[in-house]
Structure 1
Amino acid sequence: MSALGNLQDRLASTFGDGARRSGVPRIDAPPLAPENLADGHIPENAENSPPQARSPRLPERLHRYWLSGGGLVAGVLMLSIGYAGGPLALAAFLILVAVAIAVTDFVRHSQGTAGRVHSSQPKTYTEHQYDRQWEQDERAMLLATIHDQLGDIAVTRNMDRRIVRANTVFRQMTGRPHPEGMSCEELGLAFRPGTEPNRYDVEMSTPLGQRIFAWHDVMIRDPASGDLMVQSIARDVTDERLTAHAREEARLKAEYINAAKSRLLATVSHEIRTPLSGILGMSHLLSQTNLTAEQGNYLAGIRQSGNALVQLVEDLLDFSTIEVGRFELRPRAEPLRQLIESVVEMLSHRAHEKGIEVGTTVSADVPELMNFDPARLRQVLFNVIGNAVKFTHQGGVLIRAGLDGADLLITVRDSGPGMTPAVQARIFGEYEQAGDAIERSGGTGLGLPISARIIKEFGGSLTVTSEKGKGSEFTIRFPLSVSPEHRGSSRRGLLKGTRVLLLAPDGPASIGIASTIRTLGGHCQRLEPGDIGGFSLSAVGKADELPTDIIVDHRMAPYFFREFSDRVQIAAPDLRKIFLVNPEERAIRPLDLFDAWLIRPLREQSLIDVLSGRMRGMEKRDAINDNQRGFGPAVPEVKPPTGLRIVLGEDDPVNAMLVRATLVKAGHNVQLVGDFETLLGIAAEMGEDRLDLMVTDLSMPGGEGLDVLARIRAGERRDGLPALPILVLTADHRQETHNKALLEGADAVLAKPVDPERLVTEVQRLATRALEAASVH
């Protein structure tokens, strides 16, 4: 027994509660839960907690008792029972011991599983993890301090969107000193997604009122635990958002106002054009009757006022179109020289009435074809050159076109009164005009501002330089756009070997002619009135350098007849004598003494043909004076058919009478209708009663004009009828309306007020085209 006792003592001292009796205290580190480390707090009893604070659980006590001697005691009891009670008693005792061991194992397993689950809830940290967590907390506190000073919000949330930590600004803005464990939505924050991922506009009710914060989320990983976190930074952008909102509201309001203004102008324009068409048309018809001189003057005043009103309407509509941003360029390959010449021809009559001249010259390096919007550039040139003619009373206007690097340069130089620097500074402003009161009353003050904006759309600029008393020079500059196949110029050398003696007063016209001849490879010498008396052809040069042509300006005719006509050299047959006259004076000038003649303003091609001997007389000037300030295409010459059967759709009595009278005077038979239903019925007629042509307005009772056009064309296709020529007259100036009418089946569209001559010419053109098409089939 002493051996068993010694063994029991040894086991107890090693595994049992002998540790308590030894008097050496056990030191157990308490678990460092995350909630204890989140704010950097270390429990005070983390190092010196007493061992009694950790009471052993039931399985541990049973295990300890068994190792402390319980097993030996159980063995002695089994031997005693087996000896005294027999095998049955021993078997019963063993069964009881087995059950006890099984229960003990089950309890131990259950407690171990619960312990593992329990230990996963408040995760315990190692010393290394604790150090890393402490460093992370230090950084978080530093960043929170920085954001506090900047007035920004800094929030850290777990993946459940619960707040783990927040800076002072967030606590103050939300009014929650301890927001940990709550979500932002529970605190009343409203998130609106931004334009980029993880960015939001967050509305928050704060002590300062409702505020808006620009919120940005970033995913981070906790260095100690390895868990994912959401780090959020937010800045107050209330003022910026309110300002942006105010700007957007102002923009929408401005767009609404501009749209309303455009609708108003379009409506007013439509309503003005209809009676204006009647006024101008009736004045034209009245001018074809027998009138006294006094009546003719009154009628001229009526037409001048009507044309001024048309100009006013056009300027207002163009300006409104540009203002609302619906301005659109339609570039295509066009010859620049011919465009400039056509504008000058339109304005030449006004210049000649004032006793001034207009000259043009285009440099040889300008390509024959360029890409630009011809209608808009024509409008700019018409405004700028017309403005120069308007304010010039002596001398004239010279237009030059050439290249300056990669830019096209068009200059308009006049000899007018000039402008002060103050006037130059405001000349391109809306409704601004130069000149005296009488001159200012002749326009709207929108021509130059509109021109400047059009050239800006071209990618260029319109500028002016002027000096008071010495005239002005307007410069149009925009980038040159030329297709590869149109590069180069074939104009150089067209007049090579031509030597011209030009008798003309000094001025834009003579400068333009001489410059054009030199540009085309010829030689030109100018003589002014003071140079004629002592001039001799032999002084020009050698015999092979004598002039081949002499051009005489009609203003120099008296000098020519007095000084040159009887000279032998002038009368030589190999010297062509060419007379230069104004269109208004060609019928009263003696032309028999000359071999050929030219009219001003001079066309380059006419000059080439005359100097080359291909043309003797004056060229025919086509219908360039369009009813829309010359912005339409030139009308080709056609053989005028008569006796056409025309249906006229017009519900305005004055315009109906005007158009009908104009067409009847041209020899046509006109049937008038005032609604679309009747017009559709007439258009559907077949056989010999079918009409030759239709002229109609787009606004009449009984339907929509564009729909009626489509129905007419659909009916023709269904019944196999030839297409009836349709000419549309409309008071709607918008290009999109004209394009829609053409797409729906109209052959031509004219805007009111329509020039009667233009109307007759267009009717003749459409009728001739229809006859030619019918003869082919």
Structure 2
Amino acid sequence: MSELARLREKVSDGLAATPAQPADRVDTTSHHGGAGRGIDARSITLYVAASLSVGAFSAALIALAVPYAVTVALASFFGAVLVGLLYYAMFGQSFQYPGKLPADDLDVRLRQTQNRSLIAEIQEAMGDIIVIRNMDRRIVEANAVFREVTGCSAPEGLSCEEIGIAFRPGDKAHAYDVEIATPFGQRIFSWHDVVTRDLASSRLLISSIARDVTEERLALGERENARLRAEKADAEKARLLATVSHEIRLPLSGMLGMNHLLSQTKLNEEQRNYLDGMKQSGQSLVQLVEDLLDYSTMEAGRFKLNPRAENLRRLIESIVEMLAHRAHEKGIEITSFVTPDVPDYLDFDPARLRQVLFNLLGNAVKFTQVGGVIIRARMVEGELHITVEDTGPGMSQADQARIFGEFEQAGPMSQQSGGTGLGLAISARIVREFGGSLTVFSRKGEGSTFKLAFRPGSSSTGTPDPDRHHCLQHTNVLLIAPRGVAATVTMEAIKAFGGKCALIHEPEDLERLHGTAADLTDIIVDRRISPLFRDALRDWPQQNVRRTLLVSPEERASTMHASFDAWLIRPLREKSLIDVLCGRLRGIERRDAINDNHPDVGFSSRVTEGVSGIDILVAEDDAVNARIIRAVLEKSGYIVRGVDDFQALQQAVAPGTTRLPHLIISDLNMPGGEGLEVLPELLGTLKGGRNIPLIVLSGDASVETAEILLNAGAAKVLTKPADPRRLVEEIRRLLEAKRLLPS
């Protein structure tokens, strides 16, 4: 007998253990051949004839007085024959006794068996485990791979656990990782279960397949361990940098603070130059610490933006003013221009954008020896474009390709400039976080242009001021200034605001304008060349023309020439320029920016009006820094008390204390507790009816630390070394808000 015939016989007799079929696909149709062919006239005739025959047969038996039981039995037999005939008439095949299958079903079952046998052979060749268990999880059948892997030659009737298979819970139902102690060592298999129904017996079974994934799981585990090790190393590095940062900032704060106090004393020019050098060195070290902390934060993936609505014009102007002294010391110009189409307020992270622009402008000033630096901002199809242009030495294509890399600097000037080479790399990453790009275009000997482009946040509510385009439409200005970027941008700004402007550089040019300048409204003269034009301006025929003198911040304390009606400071502020040309401002406005390289002219720690009797408590454990803060505040007229640990600070503001301070300044790290735990607790007690403002001085510059303290109720968090002027201004602002000082 052939193999096919034997398999057919096994299936027909129900002796073969037919592979199971999933329960949701069990065939519930009749085993007698699908849908019938219907009952035709011949079948009906046969059925009627058979019925009459059964009836006649039964009547004959009764007539012959055959016992009733025998009559019923014979009639039943005859009826069974009738049912068989009807079945044949309806389905065209003979009646099958239980256990035998019709030929059509046998062929279907045979094909299914062959397909499943082929699949099982393929899986076995691939080394997959195949095992079938009943609902009690006892093994019914297992393939050779299972027997070989487990070392159990007769697993039938046993459970997997009894054989030594350990199941691990999986993320998905009926999917597990199992560990099996094989003759080849401990192996991991990916195990999948499915509930099926056996066609022959209609029993529910659990069919399982498993594949060896030991190498994949070990590799995955190694990657996870590597990730955890990297995270631990990053955390340790962050803690180290935070600690080092604090330890560096502490002496830096003392050095720069003492420098500030010394600069307020009577000094000769040589001594002042030495102090300026000390201050620049200290600030360079502060910037180095900031760069390293930012780089570490970005590498650890903990960097995040904090966007909010901010005035872009003020931000750009303040940065330009901070760098003006550096530029003017080198004999170069620095200026800015924001086009009228830029809204007053846009959504961005002001601290991070300031960092990027300060870096770009600082580099431009650093590398430019002749000419000047311009920063421009404009809107292009909803995107903010900011460019920083300089007239420096320029860069080669090779330098441009690597300039945004870590620890990279470009050109031979980099050997003289110092720095870590991290500034541009950090700036590029910040701009990418903005969703934008930072690019450079440069040619050797022609300067460089850095372009920052990003789309401000979608919640921006600012819209361009429609009046800005024509606010100077009745203005006709004669600008007398040296050749350079500042004069060019000033003329460009006046025209952008709707005014007219003529620019001259030489006295001869002024003489040619005498007959054509009858409608002039303003003359702006740069103090650098004003002596050349003194006589010509004195004899100017139009005496009703408003005359404005343009001076640098360093010159604003000097005596102005009496022939001028108003004054402006370089670099120009947009609002100041418009106010002067519209007649709304006469004198030099108060600058908000802190000059980063020179003590602000006119500022000293002099007595502030109305501070008499204001009591400030200073909590600082470093004696040098405590002495600096005390000196600055006492020179401003405040009463200052000091403590040097958290315990003394808590006692000074404890309930029942008769002398409470009006304001507290506290270091974040002092003996007597952990600052991030003690200060929030202290702030909670200060809110209970006393509402004493607290300024925190911290050597930790992280945003997370500042957020914790501000959310706990701190009035302000200042990073060490804190600028003395800013500290005094913050104190005044807080006391004015409490109405303890006149505003």
Structure 1 residue 477 corresponds to structure 2 residue 453:
yes
Residue correspondence of structure 1 range 241-640 to structure 2 within 5 A: 241-436=217-412, 442-481=418-457, 483=459, 485-490=461-466, 491-529=468-506, 532=509, 535-538=512-515, 546-561=519-534, 564-565=536-537, 570-588=540-558, 590-625=560-595, 639=609
Measure the CA separation in 2 of the matches of 1:438 and 1:694.
45
* Distance of 2:125 and 2:372 partners within structure 1: 73
Q: How does 1:675-690 map to 2 (within 5 A)?
A: 675-684=645-654, 689-690=659-660
Task: Give the 5 Å matches for 1:121-270.
Answer: 124-127=99-102, 131-167=107-143, 169-175=145-151, 182-206=158-182, 208-270=184-246
Deviations 1:317-352 (A, max 9, x none): 222222222222221111111111111111111111
Question: Which protein shows a greater Rg?
Answer: 1
| Percent pairwise identity | 53
Partners of 1:531 and 1:169 in 2: CA distance: 103
Partners of 1:370 and 1:482 within 8 A in 2: no
Q: Unaligned regions of 5+ residues in structure 1, if any? A: 1-28, 41-122, 631-636
CA distance in 1, matches of 2:327, 2:610: 32
Q: CA deviation at 1:295?
A: 3.7
1:654 pairs with 2:629: no
CA distance in 2 between partners of 1:734 and 1:494 (Å): 43
The structural deviation recorded for 1:484 is 6.6
1:641 aligned to 608, 611, 615, which one?
A: 611
Letter of the 1:463 counterpart: T
Taking the aligned partners of 1:365 and 1:717, their CA distance within structure 2 comes to 45
Distance 1:699 1:31, change over 3 A: closer
Within a 5 Å distance, the mapping from 1:64-79 to structure 2 comes to: none
> Which stretch shifts more, 511-520 or 152-161?
152-161
The alpha-carbon deviation at position 425 of structure 1 amounts to: 2.2
Distance 2:10 2:310 in 1: 94
Farther-moved stretch of structure 1 (583-592 vs 644-653): 583-592
Q: Which residues of 2 match residues 719-758 of structure 1 at below 5 A?
A: 722-758=690-726
1:370 Cα deviation after fit? 0.8
SS in 1 for 2:469: coil
Over the residues paired in the alignment, what is the CA RMSD in angstroms? 3.5
CA contact (8 A) 1:175 1:206 kept: yes
Verify the 8 A CA contact 2:553 2:570 in the aligned structure 1.
yes
372-381 or 185-194, larger mean C-alpha shift: 185-194
CA contact (8 A) 1:640 1:764 kept: no
**Pairwise mapping of residues 3-22 of structure 1 onto structure 2 (< 5 A)?**
none
Change (3 A) 1:420 1:555: same
Supply the distance in 2 between the matched residues of 1:325 and 1:696 (Cα, whole angstroms). 30
Q: C-alpha distance in 1, partners of 2:106/2:455?
A: 71
> For this pair of structures, how many residues does the alignment match?
649
| 1:269 Cα deviation after fit | 1.4
CA contact (8 A) 2:263 2:275 kept: yes
- 8 A Cα contact 1:597 1:617, kept in partner: yes
Q: How far apart are residue 457 of structure 1 and its match?
A: 1.4
Is the Cα–Cα contact under 8 Å of residues 249 and 699 in structure 2 kept in the other structure? Answer: yes
Could you tell me whether the CA contact under 8 Å between 1:401 and 1:411 is conserved in 2? yes
Q: What per-residue deviation string (whole Å, max 9, x for no partner) do you get for residues 561-601 of structure 1?
A: 36x4265xx43134323222211123457532323221111
Q: Describe the SS at the equivalent of 1:577.
A: strand
**Does the CA-based 8 Å contact 1:31-1:124 persist in structure 2?**
no
Segment of structure 1 superposing worse, 380-389 or 399-408:
399-408
Give me the whole-angstrom Cα distance separating, in 1, the residues matched to 2:633 and 2:17. 102
Deviation at residue 152 of structure 1 after TM alignment: 3.8
CA 1:222/1:698 → structure 2, altered by over 3 Å: closer, same or farther? Answer: same
Shift of 1:255: 0.7
Hey, what's the Cα distance between the residues in 2 that align with 1:233 and 1:410? 62
Normalising by structure 1, what TM-score?
0.76
Contact 2:322 2:596 in 1 (8 A): no
In the TM superposition, what is the alpha-carbon distance from 1:506 to its structure 2 partner?
A: 3.8
Contact persistence 1:164–1:180 (CA under 8 A): yes
Structure 1 residues 30 and 683, CA, compared in 2 at 3 Å: closer, same or farther?
Answer: closer
Give the letter aligned to residue 636 of structure 2. A
For residues 640 and 532 of structure 1, what CA distance do their matches in structure 2 show?
53
8 Å contact from structure 1 (residues 579, 594) kept in 2: yes
Gaps of 5+ in 2: 1-8, 21-97, 601-606
- Once residues 437 and 173 of structure 1 are traced to their aligned partners in structure 2, the CA distance between those partners, rounded to angstroms, is 70
The alpha carbon displacement at 1:689 in A equals 4.5
Check the 8 A contact 2:188/2:214 in 1, yes or no. yes
- TM-score norm. by structure 2 comes to 0.79
Compared with structure 1, are the counterparts of its residues 533 and 526 closer, same or farther at alpha carbon in structure 2 (3 Å cutoff)?
Answer: closer
Question: Aligned partners of 1:433 and 1:150: how far apart in 2?
Answer: 57
- Change in CA separation of 1:712 and 1:147 when aligned onto 2, cut-off 3 Å: closer
How far, CA to CA, are the matches of 1:30 and 1:248 in structure 2?
52
How far apart are the structure 2 equivalents of 1:31 and 1:588?
Answer: 114
Structure 2 contact 345–460 (Cα < 8 Å) conserved? no
Q: Check the 8 A contact 1:335/1:369 in 2, yes or no.
A: yes
User: Offset of 1:466 from its aligned partner?
Assistant: 1.7
Q: Bigger CA drift: 157-166 or 376-385?
A: 157-166
Does the aligned pair in 2 maintain the 1:650–1:697 contact within 8 Å?
Answer: yes
Closer/same/farther in 2, CA of residues 584 and 291 from structure 1, 3 Å limit:
closer
Give the counterpart letter for 2:373 in structure 1: V
**CA shift digits 1:679-724 (9 cap, x unpaired):** 3333348798544433332333334445655665666676x6x433
SS of alignment partner, residue 470 of structure 2:
coil
In the alignment, the residues of structure 2 paired with residue 524 and residue 677 of structure 1 have an alpha-carbon distance, to the nearest angstrom, of 65
> Residues 169-222 of structure 1, C-alpha deviation per residue, up to 9 Å, x if partnerless?
445544556655554444443332332222222333445543333333333333
SS in 2 for 1:126: coil
